[in-house]
Amino acid sequence: MKSFEGTFKDSCCFRISESQRMLEKALTILPEEDLWKRPNEQSNSVGNQLLHMKGNLTQYVLSALGDTSDHRDRDREFTTRDGIDLQTLWNDLNKTLEVAKQCIQNCPERRLLKTHNVQGFSLSGVDVAVHAVEHLSYHTGQIAFWVKQLTAKPLGFYDGMNLNAKND
């Protein structure tokens, strides 16, 4: 039987992988010319969202849990309007997602229990991991919604799965 710590880490990594899978499906149908399109000036483009997710994961997981330096430039995540293509953004985020999963899996219990000061918040390592997972999921949903709006196409996240299956 797995420990609570192992189960927690596996669950976090599973949820990150689920967002990764959904993002890849959504980005596959997004036309390159729509990457930096914004619904309005108070909203962000898919490009901004991808930069933002990478920045957040880097600051929270890689820096706080992985004990690396924090070099995040959060403002740039939102002010960038073009100049980076979709494949580059996806490759960068995808690499960060893989490193984040490794970081969570390899995080010692003492770092999960330790209090970390991240982005002005005082959080346990468990809080850091939960924040990173929910933040990624939140923005994955925003991207899915915006890609559906832009393309009028289904994303097929659960194609081939019976979502009406009953619990055991």
105: domain CATH number is: 1.20.120.450
In a domain, 159, yes or no: no
Instruction: Tell me which residue range forms the domain holding 65.
Output: 4-151
In a domain, 163, yes or no: no
Question: 43-79 as b/e, with b when 16 or more CB fall inside 10 Å?
Answer: ebbbbbbbbbbbbbbbbbbbbbbbeeeeebeeeebee
Q: pTM for the full model?
A: 0.95
In a domain, 156, yes or no: no
In a domain, 15, yes or no: yes
Domain count for the chain: 1
In a domain, 166, yes or no: no
pLDDT at 1: 84
90 three-state secondary structure: helix
In a domain, 13, yes or no: yes
List per-residue pLDDT tens for the chain, 168 residues long.
889 999 999 999 999 999 999 999 999 999 999 999 999 999 999 999 999 999 999 999 999 999 999 999 999 999 999 999 999 999 999 999 999 999 999 999 999 999 999 999 999 999 999 999 999 999 999 999 999 999 999 999 999 999 999 999
